[in-house]
Amino acid sequence: MDKRWSKVHTADEFLSFLKIMQRKKVPQYCPGDAFPTSGVSWFSTQSIPGMRICQECRQKHFGGTRFSKYWSHDDTPGPSICHGAFHYTQRMVDALFENDDWDHFAELMQIRIRFAGCSQQRKNANGDDADGGWWYKYTKSLTRDLYICEACYFDHVYKTDREGSFTLGDRLPVKPQCMASLKGNQTSETADIEYNRAEIMHLVHGTDRRCYAQGTVGLKWYTTPNNPRGYGVCEGCFIGKIKPLGGEKYYKVKTDVGKKSSFACWMNAYHPFFRRHEKLLTEGLILGDLSRLESTIMRFSRLPGCQQGGMGQGKSKRWWGWRSLRICAACVKGGLLAETPAGKKFELHGEKDPYHRFCDLHSMQLRDRFHHDDVNSLLEFARRRQEMLA
């Protein structure tokens, strides 16, 4: 643009410059592959019916390559996912464009576009979990059958040396959890599943990108444009939860976390701010404005963490809730729990306790029940849990 502008000296040249600039479209961020999106400048090719890519993916994957000539504007109305967001697309371009093997590329892409992204990261028309289609069994698990979905298989395993670690399974009557998903990315419940899932994550993604409750080390971190103090989303949650919703344009790489530093991800279900963060983030992405999320983060980022229950809170700390269900200050204030229906029936309102206590909302079962059960059922469950742990 600077070179063209430097050659503008007359009114006619200026009008010509304006016409050229009007034809140039500003690249938009990729809408992702989780949900169909409208209002996007799409490109398609006659060689691969049904495949549509956004302007950013066209430039990123095909700009400057021999494949770019096959793509043209698609004016067909209607929402679509961006097939350029598939990791599979980038792999096939890298493997085939040097030999200008467009026909083989088109053949391989016709296989992949028959299904959308990871089944854990998308919903069907009713808002329920989408059908996973075919599942691929991890062959090296000795204790339990573990699977990855067809999307993750083609994106990360198909036509690689990792194919030998998976075999096509039968269609399953009950949808399993995709062990390669970055959406439900907390640690597994049992040691054997945790061990195998860590192996699968390293095998498929090259590293364990999961988000750990006690803090995550060694991942890339992301933050909003103003980088609120103490705020960060780990790479796994960013790729698995924010990017598929088109949130890439609202985040940037966070550079003030060391590679060996343990940092608590705000999208981890154990984070005191988790529920409010999820609500404000969804609202911000719909409105295209994260200012309310950022201002709320700035108000609460100075709160001490929950200590994740297992580390304990120490002696003479303030507690809310009930004697059979104690809640720490971080969970109460970070989640505005005092304003909930259950919170209005608290017996403890910040009184100090001389004994060493743990925050009961470290239990995900209790945390979910706090928001959904009546108080009597909640306290009865908490009482039984205490008896079992005694």
Q: How far apart are CA 271 and CA 199, in angstroms?
A: 26
Nearest to 82 by CA among 142, 147, 33: 33
Length of the chain, in residues: 390
**What pLDDT, on a 0 to 100 scale, did the predictor assign at position 132?**
52
The 10s digit of each residue's pLDDT in 350-377 is: 888 888 777 887 776 777 778 777 888 8
Structure tokens, 286 = 């719909």
Nearest to 234 by CA among 258, 256, 217, 246: 217
**What pLDDT, on a 0 to 100 scale, did the predictor assign at position 187?**
47
Higher pLDDT, 20 or 273: 273
**What pLDDT, on a 0 to 100 scale, did the predictor assign at position 23?**
52
Q: How far apart are CA 181 and CA 147, in angstroms?
A: 10
Higher pLDDT, 148 or 304: 148
Tell me the torsion sign for CA atoms 298, 253, 221, 235.
positive
The 10s digit of each residue's pLDDT in 246-260 is: 788 889 998 887 777
The 10s digit of each residue's pLDDT in 291-319 is: 888 888 887 765 555 654 444 456 778 88
Q: How far apart are CA 271 and CA 335, in angstroms?
A: 9
Q: How far apart are CA 340 and CA 337, in angstroms?
A: 5
> 34 to each of 81, 83, 121, 241, how far by Cα in Å?
7, 10, 6, 9
The 10s digit of each residue's pLDDT in 169-219 is: 876 767 777 888 766 554 445 556 666 777 787 787 766 666 766 666 767
> 125 to each of 19, 129, 274, how far by Cα in Å?
42, 9, 26
**What pLDDT, on a 0 to 100 scale, did the predictor assign at position 192?**
61
The beta strands (E) that lie in 122-179 are given as 135-138, 147-149, 166-168
Q: How far apart are CA 27 and CA 341, in angstroms?
A: 46
Count Cβ neighbours within 10 Å for each residue of 72-89 and write b for 16 or more, e otherwise: eebeeeeebbbbbbbbbb
Q: How far apart are CA 348 and CA 352, in angstroms?
A: 9
Question: Phi and psi (nearest 5°) for 277?
Answer: -60, -45
- What is the number of other CB atoms lying within 10 angstroms of the CB of residue 144? 10
DSSP for 272-296 reads: TTHHHHHHHHHHHHHHT--HHHHHH
Query: Which strands make up the sheet holding 135-138, listed edge to edge?
Result: 147-149, 135-138, 166-168
- pLDDT exceeds cutoff 90 at 324: no
DSSP for 208-227 reads: --PPPTT-B-S--EEE-TT-
Tell me what the pLDDT averaged over the chain comes to. 78
The 10s digit of each residue's pLDDT in 71-129 is: 999 988 888 889 998 889 989 988 887 788 899 999 999 999 988 777 655 543 334 44
Helix or strand holding residue 74 (H, E) = strand 72-74
Q: How far apart are CA 158 and CA 167, in angstroms?
A: 11
